[in-house]
């Protein structure tokens, strides 16, 4: 908060030459730019992909399986795969087709899916339209 | 990964064999003959993820809390200043959620988690930069070009949003023990609404209009003008 107020004071001269009726748009954009730089720099510097020792048996098994699949994939790419096969495989990977077919038969999942869809839909539309909903009542 | 699987099959411990001496083992878990370690570093990883996600979520609602001012900014009554056009600056995040999900699945399959997050953060940053340049050159560019540049900036941030929203389960399964995963996933997922909340607050503090305040209240609503 202090950072924002400080920025506002520092950058007050930026938009004084603008003739528009709305002030502060460059300040807003610069503030958000700076707030995007900070996490990116920290992530690039400090983030680690995985711990040296896995935290649980299931993670270790998953790592091993992925390693095996990776090796298998590396050994098979050179020999037989044509480009069209690769494309079909890519699309089935992207669309998670096996998982989606399994999920359609899972009743609990479908109930959760409907409930979450409604909730997330309401949240998103409220988040976007909040100002327009309350503006007629004098909140600006 | 090879060394750990070999040692697991031979029933030996795999503690501190790798050269990450600065990482402190917070808890060691005995499971049969194998040892699994939960590092304290995981909270820093989760915190970094939350920061990035909040920054991305903040970009989404930039124009929503000040939509009437943005309408003035693009010219009230013109095509770019209409309610629909201004709402589309936020709705582009929902429109690009599908393509972004495909991109995120592809990235998570073929890249490590850190590369994915750095790529997503870079695209978000690029979008923010484009919006800043557009806002700085508002007088010379004209309303239409500024709107299009703002939309491009929003779209760049929007295409990376699923990378953040789909990552928490992967992150918690990589770093957290089984009994902590729900907590970690919840924290990771909750940072998007928190980022939205911060994003609702900041624009109202920084952007102001020159209209007299009494003009639009009460019986003459602004959004009908």
B45 at interface of A, judged by CB pairs closer than 8 A: yes
Determine which of B18-27, B36-45, B59-68, B167-176 has the lowest per-residue pLDDT on average.
B18-27
Q: Give CA–CA dist A128/A130, Å, rounded.
A: 6
Which pTM was predicted?
0.75
DSSP state, residue B14? -
Residue A135 has pLDDT above 70, yes or no: yes
Residue A14 has pLDDT above 80, yes or no: no
Q: What ranges make up the beta strands (E) of chain A?
A: 22-23
- Provide the b/e sequence for A44-63 (b: ≥16 CB within 10 Å): eeebbebbbbbbbeebbeeb
**DSSP string for residues in A79-117:** TT--HHHHHHHHHHHHHTHHHHHHHHT-HHHHHHHHHHH
Contact between residue B205 and residue A4 where contact means Cβ atoms under 8 Å apart: yes
Put simply, the answer to whether A51 touches B218 (Cβ < 8 Å) is no
Determine the pLDDT at residue A11. Answer: 54
Q: Give CA–CA dist B199/B141, Å, rounded.
A: 26
Determine the pLDDT at residue B26. Answer: 43
The model's pLDDT over B146-168, given as tens digits with 9 standing for 90+, comes to 999 999 999 999 999 999 998 99
Determine which of A94-108, B108-122, B201-215 has the lowest per-residue pLDDT on average.
B201-215
Q: Which of B21, B78, B47 is nearest to A43 (CA)?
A: B47
Extract the tokens encoding A99: 């998982």
Question: Percentage helix, strand, coil, to 5, in chain B?
Answer: 70, 5, 25
Complex confidence, ipTM: 0.76
In chain A, pLDDT over 70 holds for what percent of residues? Answer: 69
**DSSP string for residues in B37-97:** EEETHHHHHHHHHHHHHHHHHHHHTSSSTTHHHHHHHH-TTSSTTSHHHHHHHHHHHHHTH
Residue B35 has pLDDT above 80, yes or no: no
Residue B23 has pLDDT above 80, yes or no: no
- Chain B residues with beta carbon closer than 8 angstroms to that of A94: 102, 105-106
Strand duo A22-23 + B208-209: pairing: antiparallel
Determine the pLDDT at residue A40. Answer: 93
H or E element, residue A58: helix A57-77
The per-residue pLDDT of chain B, averaged, comes to 80
Determine the pLDDT at residue A54. Answer: 80
- Chain A residues with beta carbon closer than 8 angstroms to that of B29: 55-56
Contact between residue B73 and residue A25 where contact means Cβ atoms under 8 Å apart: yes
In chain B, pLDDT over 90 holds for what percent of residues? Answer: 39
Q: Which of B15, B121, B149, B170 to mutate to test the interface with A (most CBs of A within 10 A)?
A: B121
Q: Which of A131, A133, A136, A138 to mutate to test the interface with B (most CBs of B within 10 A)?
A: A131
Contact between residue B34 and residue B14 where contact means Cβ atoms under 8 Å apart: yes
Quick one: B118 exposed, middle or buried, by C-beta within 10 A (0-12, 13-18, 19+)? middle
Contact between residue A39 and residue B121 where contact means Cβ atoms under 8 Å apart: yes
Q: What is the dihedral of CA B202, B204, B207, B208, to 10 degrees?
A: -160
Residue B22 has pLDDT above 80, yes or no: no
Determine the pLDDT at residue A4. Answer: 55
The residue of chain A with its CA nearest to that of B107 is A94
Residue B173 has pLDDT above 60, yes or no: yes
**Among A28, A55, A64, whose Cβ lies nearest the Cβ of B36?**
A55
Determine the pLDDT at residue A16. Answer: 44
Determine the pLDDT at residue B183. Answer: 92
3-state SS, residue B207: coil
């Amino acid at each position: 908060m202090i950072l924002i107020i400080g920025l506002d004071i520092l950058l007050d001269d930026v938009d004084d030459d603008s003739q528009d009726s709305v002030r502060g748009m460059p300040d807003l954009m610069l503030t958000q730019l700076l707030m995007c730089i900070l996490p990116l720099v920290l992530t690039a510097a400090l983030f680690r992909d995985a711990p040296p020792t896995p935290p649980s048996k299931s993670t270790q098994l998953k790592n091993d399986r992925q390693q095996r699949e990776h090796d298998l994939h590396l050994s098979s790419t050179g020999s037989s795969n044509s480009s069209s096969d690769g494309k079909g495989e890519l699309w089935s990977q992207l669309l998670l087709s096996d998982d989606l077919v399994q999920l359609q038969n899972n009743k609990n999942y479908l109930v959760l899916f409907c409930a979450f869809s409604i909730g997330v839909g309401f949240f998103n539309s409220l988040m976007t339209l909040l100002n327009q909903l309350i503006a007629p009542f004098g909140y600006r | 990964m090879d060394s750990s699987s070999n040692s697991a099959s031979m029933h030996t411990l795999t503690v501190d064999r790798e050269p990450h001496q600065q990482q402190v083992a917070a808890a060691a878990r005995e499971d049969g003959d194998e040892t699994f370690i939960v590092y304290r570093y995981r909270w820093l990883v989760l915190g970094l993820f939350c920061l990035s996600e909040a920054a991305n979520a903040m970009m989404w609602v930039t124009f929503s809390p000040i939509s009437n001012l943005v309408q003035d900014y693009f010219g009230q009554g013109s095509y770019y200043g209409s309610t629909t056009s201004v709402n589309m600056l936020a709705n582009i995040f929902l429109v690009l959620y599908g393509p972004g999900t495909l991109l995120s699945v592809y990235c998570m399959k073929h890249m490590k988690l850190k590369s994915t997050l750095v790529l997503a953060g870079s695209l978000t940053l690029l979008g923010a930069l484009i919006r800043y340049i557009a806002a700085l050159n508002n007088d010379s560019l004209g309303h239409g070009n500024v709107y299009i540049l703002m939309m491009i900036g929003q779209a760049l941030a929007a295409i990376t949003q699923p990378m953040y929203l789909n990552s928490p389960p992967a992150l918690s399964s990589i770093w957290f023990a089984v009994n902590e995963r729900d907590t970690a996933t919840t924290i990771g997922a909750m940072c998007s609404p928190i980022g939205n909340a911060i994003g609702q607050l900041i624009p109202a503090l920084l952007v102001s209009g020159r209209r007299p305040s009494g003009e639009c209240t009460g019986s003459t609503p602004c959004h009908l003008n």
